[in-house]
Amino acid sequence: MPWYLYIALRHLFPQGKRFPVYTLMSVTGVVLGEAVLMVVISVFNGFGHEIRTRIADTYGDLRIVTGDLIYNTEDLSERLKSMESVESAVPYAHGLVMLLHKNKPLAPMVEGIDVRSDEELGKYEEYLLAGNMDDFDDDSILVSSGLADQLQLYVGGEVEMYTPLMMLKLLESDGKDMLLPRSVRVAGIFQTGWQRADENTVICTLRLMQDLYNLGEGAHGVRVELNEGYEIEPESRSISDALGRPFFARTWMDTHGDFLSVVQLEKRMMFFLLFIIVIVASFSIMSSLLIFVIRKTREIGLFAAMGATPRQVAACFCYQGLFIGITGTIFGMGLGFTLIHFRNHITSTISRILGVADSMNQIYGFSYLPARVEMADMIGIALLSILVATLAGLIPAYKASRLDPVEALRSE
């Protein structure tokens, strides 16, 4: 081991002596910066992942459409399922309805799902707050939590449903026909955690939707779930190419990408804002090392007298910055992973103390704080922290290398 590396280590971590305060303070700064960055970025990743999962669950990874009704959905679904990347493909129909309950009208989006698909039913069962999927049939609907709140709907209750087609018929009959709504039962209330879906959505069976919209055996498209490991954008292009015209694939990113972009933007902004902690820590390292250079002036003179080159003296202090960065990063990662692991205990304790329990669920629709550790982010944070700490050692190192050995040896 080169002597300057050895001395750098022994200055920072001397044997048989107490841990130097300056080392402790410098390392602590990096530890805190690293840990906070890790936790915040992981939580943002977790939010992004959860939202992406919930959007994909309600929207599907891809939707195959033609711009018109599709009648041969069975054939299309089979063709899609035969593709390696496709996990499931089920027909759907969607539109707008008006719900009337206790004289209060609301116009939510409605999605007709294929109840023959266990996967489709399983997905919504996961998000049910009340009710049972076994009760979900062609005469019932699932309503989102926001809609249930606004219309005061409850499981087992009846609600009147009007479609634009009914309005059209009324207009065509010049008011001679009576407008008879379709009475449906509320089979369940769901909450996905994706605010847009939870505010104003009704789920019904595809058969009911075909009936309401007079679609016959047709559907508006086929919803596709991809197998794990397939990227949505490139896969949508290859599926579109494979199916050929008039089919084309739309991804949820085309319609809801803006929401995720906001999460991504927030993540980046938080990274830069919180990275300031690491930069502040680097100034702490720099000032500590500068004081250390002054304290060790005579020693630096001694090194020169023993034959050390100015570059070796500089390396000695530069390596101290590097070692502070590495040590801080290791402990910071340990603290960060610990905080991420116990994040829900920590947030629930804080909520209990502040008396704001369940705020996470109320605001974000999550009963827990999501977090997702992505290795690329963690490696990036670690490397940046080490780099900044090393750079913080450069000025003290330069100052040490510029010391006049004679003056250094004379210093008190």
Partner 1 sequence: MSEPLIEAREVSRQFESVEGSIKVLQGVDLCINPGNTISIQGESGSGKSTLLNILAGLDRPDGGSVVWGSSDIANQSSSKLARIRASLIGMVFQSYYLVPELRALENVMLGGRISGMNTDLKERSKALLEKVGLGERMASLPATLSGGERQRVAIARALISEPKVLLADEPTGNLDEATGDSVMGMLQALCVDANVALVLVTHNTNYAARMDSAWILRQGVLEKGS
Shortest separation between residue 296's beta carbon and partner 1, angstroms: 9
Q: Side-chain half-sphere of 245: how many Cα atoms within 13 Å?
A: 0
Q: Which is nearer to partner 1, 90 or 408 (CB)?
A: 408
What is the β-pairing status of strands 158-162 and 182-190?
antiparallel
| Contacting range for partner 1; rule: CB under 8 A; set: 4-12, 44-52, 88-96, 227-235 | 4-12
Under rule CB under 8 A, how many of the chain's residues touch partner 1? 27
Cα–chain center distance at 12: 39
User: Which is closer to partner 1, CB of 76 or CB of 408?
Assistant: 408
Does 18 bind partner 1 (CB under 8 A)? Our answer is no
Q: Contact between 324 and partner 1 (CB under 8 A)?
A: no
Choices 3-11, 29-37, 100-108, 353-361 (CB under 8 A): range interacting with partner 1:
3-11
Q: CB 54 → partner 1: shortest distance, Å?
A: 57
**Interacting stretch for partner 1, rule CB under 8 A, among 33-41, 131-139, 262-270, 298-306?**
298-306
d(CA 336, CA 201): 38
Site residues for partner 1, window 222-261 (CB under 8 A)?
Answer: none
* 94 vs 399, beta carbon nearer partner 1: 399
Q: Quick one: tokens of 55?
A: 């959007």
Among 278, 308, 381, 392, binds partner 1 (CB under 8 A): 308
Cα 38 from Cα 43, distance rounded (Å): 8
Of positions 185, 270, 409, 411, contacts partner 1 by CB under 8 A: 409
Report angle CA 201, 206, 210 to the nearest 5 degrees. Answer: 105
DSSP codes, 209-267: HHHHTT-TT-BSEEEEEEPTT--HHHHHHHHHHHH-TT-EEEEHHHHHHHHHHHHHHHH
* Nearest 10 degrees: Cα torsion 31, 33, 34, 35: 80
- Residues in contact with partner 1 by CB under 8 A are 2-3, 6-7, 10-11, 14-17, 298-299, 301-312, 405-406, 409
